[in-house]
A and B are shown apart, each in its own frame.
Chain A
Amino acid sequence: MRPRMRGAGGFDRRALLCAGAALGLGALAPVRAASEPIHLRDALGRDVVLPAPAQRIVTIFSSNTELVAALGLMDRIVGVEEYTRFPPEVAGLPKVGGRLGFSVDAVVAQRPDLVIVTPARQAANQLVDPMERIGVPVMVLLSRGLDEVMANVCQVALAAGVGARGAALVQLLQRRLAVVDARVAGRSAPRALMITGRMGNGMLLVARPGTYTNEAMLRAGARHAIPGIGALAQVSPEAALAADPDVLLFAGAQAGLDELTRRPGWRDMRAVRAQRAITVARAEFLIPGPRTFDGIETLARWILRAGQKGWG
């Protein structure tokens, strides 16, 4: 079963704008004179008003940086957080925070006209309120599914005054998804478990329903090996072994997967025995952005190839 598109706070209008622009329906795309302010609504339902298209953007987190870069606006980024690595041009940009939080001073020092954040770590807590008070527009983006990732592309494009470019990018991403959908349609979907992290106490973090990571996995032609996993991200190794998935996906380095699958019990897992335990790129499945679509295509190709002899 394919995942259904979801609506969430502030999303419907953006999706409509985005779809309108992507399909070339001018009536749905926002019409704005050059001197008019840009009005947007972000993922928290906040009204974001930009007096003019953003020219100096601070992007907090890799996902938001990648969205701006994918629109060809790398030259407008004036600050990033310390753990943003892609695209390589970010290396020389001023850093406004990292693992220890984000500095209001450092952000303001870049004289931004837009700050894009995601409510992860302390970012929204530390930046939204101060930026609002100081008078710097701040836009919060959420990426709970692929539809929101695409809506975010449009949202950023509209904020930067390149709505048509955003619509074109979304159209391209939708076409790529449609190709994957057509390829996996009618094929038997393997029961897959994607491990996204390991806790010190041995518990596993896995892709769970309601996340873009899980949706990307399903979209690539798999189905969840523990469908009733609920809201908790952590599962015990016992639950993973009991699920005995057809495919084990490990978001991380090969050494980490090897170390895991050498453990007692894991060697006997169906996926491991059949050599269907593979690594997937964290950058593709744990950073919601255009590269997630690369990951879907890569995983879909692998699933189609691996499933040629069936999943038994």
Chain B
Amino acid sequence: MNPSIKLCCRAFAALALAVVLGICAGHQWASPADIWQAITERDTLRGRLLWEWRMPRVLAAACVGALLGLSGAVFQGVFRNPLAEPYLLGASGGAALGATIALLVPLGLPQSWLLPVLAFAGAWGSTLLVLGVARVAGALDASGMLLAGVAMAAMLGAIRSFLMLALSDETVSLQVVMSWVLGGIQTPTWSGLGWLALVTLACLLATQTLARGLDLLGLGDATAQSFGLDVARFVPRAVLLGSLVVAAAVAYGGLVAFVGLAAPHIARWWVGPRHRWVLPASALAGAVVVTIADAMARSVLPPAEVPLGLITAVAGGPFFIVLLARRLRAHGGRA
């Protein structure tokens, strides 16, 4: 069998395994027989729990992970920095502010759609602002955008802190915002999951249009330019698309730490540096990581649910360090 097809099969098998594990995991573990029963007959409470709640959540976790992996690969490619992550340009600050408004300010609208909409708007809006500020300041290069992002994140963080302090009391607790900020999958309905899957697929296809540009950018601005890439136009376009992808992830998963940083590295170890393959592989790696982390979040401390972002950071950090160390040993000190 062709090695890349073999690799692809293995990756999809890992995702399928993670999804099955995710559906089994919970306060009460379900056996594969329970899952089959829930799919075929849904007239029991437990069957409805698995079908209406756990399955869409697990699949949504996979989509959120894929989006995070995808956006991480775009950002690391654009900034040519292995430490770049999807929240680099203030998306996390904007999303958290949007979520804080949705959760604490009584706007009289249903929170079930206000929360994802404002989180999405905050995440993407803050990146638009950063790009706008960088453009006005005449610093639309990587360092200019990064500095504008830092300033924007500080401002948005301060506004969010003020809202949390001013509007929190015994009833509307800070815990609601804290819990959102630390990440957690918002379980969609089956139709909502369909939309999320479509968005994920669309993002996957849209980011493929960036693959060649990201490869060229990795050779340096001058070389990329000499190969016909309009760097000045390509970078903001890639950033906007990457931010759109992370905003979609944030709307359904809150601020899940670490995945957007780690998934592209895992992908590069799998498939090499070409973005045509790195992008889908990173999406797949993100999907596997978030699905497993969400399963752990729901099952390690029953009946409580540990925020997903804590699991991804605590469990994913050492995993990432081990992989990195192995990689360094294998390549004589070069990651």
A residues with a Cβ closer than 8 A to B are 82, 95-106, 108-109, 111, 118-122, 125-126, 129-130, 133-136, 196-197, 203, 205, 232-234, 286
Contacts and interface: CB of A to CB of B under 8 A. Distances in A.
B45 A111 contact: yes
Q: Considering the complex of A and B, which 3 residue pairs feature the smallest CB-CB distances, nearest first?
A: A106-B303, A105-B27, A100-B304
Contacts of B173: 120-121
Contacts of A82: 304
Given A105-B28, A105-B49, A134-B52, A125 B176 contact: yes
A106 B48 contact: no
Contacts of A106: 27-28, 302-303
Contacts of B46: 108
B172 A120 contact: yes
A156 to B, nearest CB: 19
A76 B304 CA distance: 23
B275 interface: no
A233 B170 CA distance: 9
B49 A104 contact: yes
Contacts of B49: 104-105, 108, 134
A103 B303 contact: yes
Given A97-B304, A101-B304, A120 B171 contact: yes
B304 A98 contact: yes
A251 B198 CA distance: 52
Nearest to A142: B171
Interface string B65-101: 0000000000000000000000000000000000000
A118 B53 CA distance: 21
A178 B41 CA distance: 56
Interface in B167-221: 168-173, 175-176, 179, 187, 189
B53 A99 contact: no
B110 to A, nearest CB: 10
Interface string B19-49: 0000000111000000000000000011011
A112 to B, nearest CB: 9
Given A133-B53, A135-B45, A234-B165, A105 B171 contact: no
Contacts of B176: 121-122, 125
Nearest to B175: A121
A134 B53 contact: yes
Given A105-B302, A135-B45, 20 more contacts: A101-B179, A102-B303, A103-B26, A103-B27, A103-B304, A105-B28, A106-B303, A108-B46, A119-B171, A119-B172, A120-B173, A121-B175, A122-B176, A130-B52, A130-B187, A133-B189, A134-B52, A197-B170, A232-B166, A233-B170
Given A104-B49, A105-B298, A108-B45, A122 B304 contact: no
5 contacts: A120-B171, A122-B179, A134-B49, A134-B52, A232-B166
A44 B52 CA distance: 23
Contact of B45 (A100, A118, A136, A205): A136
A100 B305 contact: yes
Contacts of B168: 233
A205 B172 CA distance: 13
Nearest to A81: B303
B170 A97 contact: no
A196 B53 contact: no
A2 to B, nearest CB: 23
A222 to B, nearest CB: 19
A196 B170 CA distance: 9
